[in-house]
Amino acid sequence: MQITRTLLPDIILITPDVYRDARGYFFESYNEKVYQEAGIAARFVQTCHSYSVKNTLRGLHYQKPHPQGKLIGVVKGAIRDLVVDVRRASPTFGQHIEIRLSDNLPQMLWIPEGFAHGFLTVSDEAHILYQVTDFYFPKDERVLLWNDPALGIPWNIADPILSDKDKNGTLLSALETY
């Protein structure tokens, strides 16, 4: 596995070794020993599957006071995955990174606690599998407004498909942070 630190140093892109032959391919999406050596000492308690059609934008979500670390991978399709640092004392507070994840290049993205996460589906459809380090608590879910000008995220889409909660997210300046 190749471990790559991103411009937000706590966010890690994992590229597994892929073994291909005439039948298809095989790779390890999770290996506790390798992940621990990379500084990811997570205990996953829930695995989720998200399906979205093209131009669906989900996010930017996080939980407080029950934060979740997330390990994300795309099984089918392609997404623009976005992560925003919502740790107020962090030197990278309010900064974001974007990683394109797709089924063409199996990769996983590790997002520890303290970051808001979202994605835009850029293929006709996308299936995303992700594991989390704490259970989903609906009352703890927080939503950072996807198009807050303070974030400077170039979504390059005028009218994404959004849930009501994502349409009504909170500006970074008023956000409950860590």
Give the residue numbers marked as catalytic. Answer: 61, 130
Angle, vertex CA 60, rays to CA 88 and CA 31, nearest 5 = 90
Taking alpha carbons only, the member of 126, 63, 60, 128 closest to residue 97 is 60
Structure tokens at 75: 């099984």
Question: Would you call 143 helix, strand, or coil by DSSP?
Answer: strand
